[in-house]
Amino acid sequence: MASSSSSPPGRTYNDAIDALNTLQTPHSVIAARRAANVRPDAHSLTEMRSYLSRIGYSPSDLDRLHIIHVAGTKGKGSTCAFVDSILARHTHPRPLRVGLFTSPHLIAVRERIRISSRPISEELFARYFFQVWDRLGDDGTKPIYARYLTLMSWHVFLAEGVDVAVYETGIGGEYDATNVVERPAVAGISTLGIDHVYVLGKTVEEIAWHKGGIMKAGRPAFSVEQGAAAEEVLRRRAEEKGVELRVLGVDRRLEGVGVRPDAVFQKRNATLAVALAETALAELVPGFRLENEGPFPKEFVEGLEQVVWRGRCEVKEEDEVTWYVDGAHTVDSLKMASRWFTGECAERAGPKVLIFNQQGRSEAIDFLDGLCNTVKKADPAGRGFRHVIFCTNVTYAETGYKRDFVNHQYDPKDIEKMTAQHAFAEKWAKLDPDANIMVIHSIEEAITTARGLSKDVEPGQKVQALITGSLHLVGGALGILEKADAL
Ligand SMILES: Nc1ncnc2c1ncn2[C@@H]1O[C@H](COP(=O)(O)OP(=O)(O)OP(=O)(O)O)[C@@H](O)[C@H]1O
Ligand SMILES: [Mg+2]
Ligand SMILES: [Mg+2]
């Protein structure tokens, strides 16, 4: 990637990403913490507040950002993108400057901090990154990766004078770095399920407790419909905190709005986004109110229909391959993704191919059953994927990781030996003995292999290839498919 010419030497975007990568928690430390059952607690927030003060702000400064705070197991990013897209289209009496903070990134780190829906430039990223770096001083303690970016996002949005900022939590809610905000404009909880069990606990009740931690006394909060157990926990948390929590069924005004993909989960995300955008606008714009019945105003319809949220349910046509790209990486979201894939494939003929990876989560082996069975069930002859490729998240065959994807959190020995990928292959052979299973080192080689399969395809057909299991995999794949930075 070209680095910006106007940053001083040693302070370019690439230098910032290299410095940021030194803040990743190494694999050995993560493993030791898990072994000792160390989990985040209130101390994490005390530390975040102290970092915030070291860069020159107090928590009450964050009130100026009118934060829209979103937690949930799935649909956080999509919901935030909808909210951003709606608010960015607001014009009356003046346009709003909208900040958006999301994680993880797909193609480049700077995607995580957006203003007016665009990732901040490399130059701006480098400048703010090193301002935070300098303000924190040289005494050796710097926040870890995700916390650093959260801290930096507050600085960027305050310095750039955004009117409203949409925040996706990193992990959980109660002790998440973003939860330093005391007076959000509104909090929203998207679909809850099981993920990050080492940090948040094994049951949906424990997970709901964490996510419910973003609701703040006296501030409005919304949730999509949840399973009974999760909803019960959220309601109890709301009551304890003196929050009026509203649980939303799918908004009827969405009928006739072209939300993509046309699936219930996405309508839930859109429903939540509408409520969050409406609540924030009511606070920011005197006299703003949506009609309870009747159609949405133009900014809402266009915001929902024209949102760009890459790496989720994307279809890309090449001459010999149709690529289906989705970054799902939990049991539930992978079921959604495979249903979406089979729905799309119903209209196109050709052998089905899977490219899958999920690095560093031992539970990922359980992701495969749903994926395999959904595809078999949807086929009239009961056939599943013809070819199944398991690869690592290493981007390129020759040069390894793109800088923005360097990850010290995995055991390098596992990547070298492709331990996870061989385990996936073994499991898949049991699930579907008819499949041709391959284990391949890099994303680039996996894509080349899938393209090569087109030589055996019957005339009029194309390889139908699903890439899923990891946002890192999907981001790397999009970069390769588009031969450029797909930002
Ligand atoms: N409400 C939902 N319920 C279940 N699955 C969903 C939902 N929304 C999105 N998904 C699936 O999850 C994938 C990731 O969506 P999104 O980026 O919105 O989630 P997220 O909560 O930000 O996840 P993470 O940050 O953990 O990657 C999507 O590609 C889609 O397949
Ligand atoms: Mg997650
Ligand atoms: Mg996300």
Average pLDDT, integer, range 212-227: 97
- Judge whether residue 487 has pLDDT over 80: no
Instruction: Give residue 81 CA to ligand 3 midpoint distance, Å.
Output: 10
Instruction: Give residue 400 CA to ligand 1 midpoint distance, Å.
Output: 28
Identify the residue whose C-alpha is closest to ligand 1 atom 22: 77
> 329 and 416 share a domain?
yes
The last residue of a domain, from among 273, 305, 337: 305
Instruction: Give residue 203 CA to ligand 3 midpoint distance, Å.
Output: 21
Instruction: Give residue 433 CA to ligand 3 midpoint distance, Å.
Output: 34
Question: For residue 6, what pLDDT band results from cuts at 50, 70 and 90?
Answer: low
pLDDT of residue 362: 82
Nearest atom, ligand 1, residue 76 CA: 21
Q: What are the pLDDT digits (tens) for 40-62?
A: 889 999 999 999 999 999 999 99
Amino acid residing at 110:
R
- Judge whether residue 215 has pLDDT over 70: yes
Contacts (Cβ under 8 Å, ≥6 apart) of 341: 324, 326, 375, 466, 468
Instruction: Give residue 202 CA to ligand 1 midpoint distance, Å.
Output: 19
Question: pTM of the full predicted structure?
Answer: 0.91
Q: Any idea which of 22-31, 384-393, 428-437 has the lowest mean pLDDT? A: 22-31
Number of other residues whose CB lies within 10 A of the CB of residue 382: 10
- Judge whether residue 2 has pLDDT over 50: no
245 phi, psi to nearest 5 deg: -95, 130
Q: Are 153 and 98 in contact (CB under 8 A)?
A: no
> 244 and 173 share a domain?
yes
2 phi, psi to nearest 5 deg: -70, 135
The last residue of a domain, from among 305, 326, 361: 305
Identify the residue whose C-alpha is closest to ligand 1 atom 15: 75
- Judge whether residue 372 has pLDDT over 60: yes
The last residue of a domain, from among 254, 287, 305: 305
Nearest to 130 by CA among 220, 7, 235, 45: 7
Identify the residue whose C-alpha is closest to ligand 1 atom 11: 333
pLDDT of residue 486: 59
Q: What are the pLDDT digits (tens) for 135-163?
A: 998 876 899 999 999 999 999 999 999 99
The response to whether 470 counts as a known ligand-binding position is no
Identify the residue whose C-alpha is closest to ligand 1 atom 5: 333
The response to whether 333 counts as a known ligand-binding position is no
Average pLDDT, the chain: 93
> 292 and 318 share a domain?
no
Nearest to 261 by CA among 446, 75, 93: 75
Amino acid residing at 215:
M
Give domain status of residue 189, yes or no: yes
Give domain status of residue 206, yes or no: yes
Q: How many domains does the chain have?
A: 2
Ligand that lies nearest to the alpha carbon of residue 333, given by its number in the listed order = 1
Nearest to 107 by CA among 269, 259, 304, 309: 309
The response to whether 326 counts as a known ligand-binding position is yes
Q: What are the pLDDT digits (tens) for 318-337?
A: 999 999 999 999 999 999 99
> 253 and 358 share a domain?
no
Task: Compute the distance between CA of residue 9 and CA of residue 130 in angstroms, rounded to an integer.
Answer: 12
Average pLDDT, integer, range 240-262: 96
416 phi, psi to nearest 5 deg: -60, -45
Amino acid residing at 276:
L
The response to whether 33 counts as a known ligand-binding position is no
Task: Please write down the HEC assignment for all residues of 155-181.
Answer: HHHHHCCCCEEEEECCCCCCCCHHHHC
∠ CA 479-485-487 to the nearest 5 degrees? 105
Average pLDDT, integer, range 339-365: 92
ipTM (interface pTM)? 0.98
Q: What are the pLDDT digits (tens) for 384-423?
A: 999 999 999 999 998 888 888 888 888 889 999 999 999 9
Percent of the chain with pLDDT over 70: 98
> 415 and 342 share a domain?
yes
pLDDT of residue 38: 81
Query: Given ligand 1 and candidates 331, 333, 371, which is best to mutate, with the most ligand atoms within 8 Å of its CB?
Result: 333
Average pLDDT, integer, range 252-273: 95
Average pLDDT, integer, range 173-197: 95
Task: Transcribe 173-233 into DSSP letters.
Answer: STT-GGGG-SS-SEEEE-B-----HHHH-SSHHHHHHHHHTT--TTS-EEEE---HHHHHH
Question: For residue 4, what pLDDT band results from cuts at 50, 70 and 90?
Answer: very low
The DSSP code for 435 is: S
The response to whether 168 counts as a known ligand-binding position is yes
Nearest to 476 by CA among 414, 424, 399: 399
Give domain status of residue 373, yes or no: yes
pLDDT of residue 194: 85
> 274 and 185 share a domain?
yes
Comparison of pLDDT for 9 and 245, the residue scoring more: 245
Place of tokens 């056939």: 383
CATH number of the domain residue 430 falls in: 3.90.190.20
Give domain status of residue 331, yes or no: yes
- Judge whether residue 16 has pLDDT over 90: yes
> 289 and 337 share a domain?
no
pLDDT of residue 201: 85
> 243 and 221 share a domain?
yes
Average pLDDT, integer, range 28-47: 87
The DSSP code for 24 is: S
Instruction: Give residue 51 CA to ligand 1 midpoint distance, Å.
Output: 30
Average pLDDT, integer, range 308-327: 94
Give domain status of residue 487, yes or no: no
Instruction: Give residue 159 CA to ligand 1 midpoint distance, Å.
Output: 30
> 374 and 429 share a domain?
yes
Query: Given ligand 1 and candidates 69, 74, 331, which is best to mutate, with the most ligand atoms within 8 Å of its CB?
Result: 74
> 297 and 378 share a domain?
no
Domain holding 272, by residue range, is 13-305
Give domain status of residue 250, yes or no: yes
Ligand 1 cavity residues, CB under 6 Å: 72, 74-78, 103, 168, 190-191, 265, 268-269, 312-313, 326-328, 332-333, 336-337, 471
Give domain status of residue 396, yes or no: yes
Question: For residue 485, what pLDDT band results from cuts at 50, 70 and 90?
Answer: low
> 156 and 297 share a domain?
yes
Nearest atom, ligand 1, residue 168 CA: 22
CATH number of the domain residue 129 falls in: 3.40.1190.10
Give the HSE-up count for residue 183: Cα atoms under 13 Å, Cβ half-sphere.
Answer: 10
Nearest atom, ligand 1, residue 336 CA: 31
> 456 and 425 share a domain?
yes
Give domain status of residue 486, yes or no: no
pLDDT of residue 334: 94
pLDDT of residue 3: 45
